[in-house]
């Protein structure tokens, strides 16, 4: 099981995006765990210890929003940050309705880290 010290889950089917986000998180003092599919995160030891999940909207199998709906049952307390290369106003509204924030790719590091700080301190972005 991953250490519970500031664990952030990254779920994105693009290996390059996962690697970049994990490098950023690790350099900021977080411990990252990454997954290419939502199903893998749901079945992982990382799920119960994660402080926040960064979720791409377009995943290979279940979508990021479908994953969020499953997480609402499994971990209703888990803050969610959504990312998308093609964020639309409708997606922004849905992300907000699910209690999350939608960021456009490429994600700006300072904004992401500020939102993660809010998640750690207040339990929501």
Structural domain spans, the chain: 7-122
Rounded Cα gap, residues 1 and 63, in angstroms: 26
Separation CA 3–CA 6 (nearest Å): 8
CA distance 97 to 62: 19
pTM of the model: 0.95
Round the average pLDDT of the chain to a whole number and report it: 94
Q: Which two tokens stand for residue 29?
A: 């003092």
CA distances for 59 relative to 67, 85, 110, 121, 125, angstroms: 9, 12, 25, 29, 22
User: How does pLDDT run across 63-83, given as a tens digit for each residue?
Assistant: 999 999 999 999 999 999 999
Query: For residues 35 and 10, is the Cβ–Cβ distance under 8 A?
Result: yes
Judge whether residue 3 has pLDDT over 50: no
The pLDDT tens digits for 7-32 are 999 999 999 999 999 999 999 999 99
CATH architecture of the region 7-122: 3-Layer(aba) Sandwich (3.40)
Confidence of residue 120 (pLDDT cuts 50, 70, 90): confident
> Is 1 a residue whose pLDDT tops 50?
no
CB 11 within 8 A of CB 63: no
**pLDDT band at residue 123, thresholds of 50, 70 and 90?**
confident
Residue in the structure block whose two tokens are 């888990």: 78
Closest C-alpha to 54, from 32, 23, 76: 32
């Amino acid at each position: 099981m991953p250490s519970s010290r500031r664990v952030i889950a990254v779920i994105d089917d693009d290996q390059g995006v996962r690697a970049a986000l994990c490098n950023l998180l690790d350099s900021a003092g977080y411990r990252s765990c990454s997954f290419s599919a939502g199903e893998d995160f749901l079945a992982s030891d990382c799920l119960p210890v994660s402080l926040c999940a960064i979720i791409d909207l377009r995943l290979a199998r279940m979508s990021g929003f479908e994953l969020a709906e499953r997480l609402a049952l499994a971990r209703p307390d888990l803050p969610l940050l959504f990312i998308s290369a093609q964020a639309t106003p409708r997606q922004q509204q849905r992300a907000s309705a699910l209690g999350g924030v939608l960021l456009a790719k490429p994600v700006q590091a300072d904004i992401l880290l500020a939102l993660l700080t809010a998640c750690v301190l207040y339990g929501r972005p």
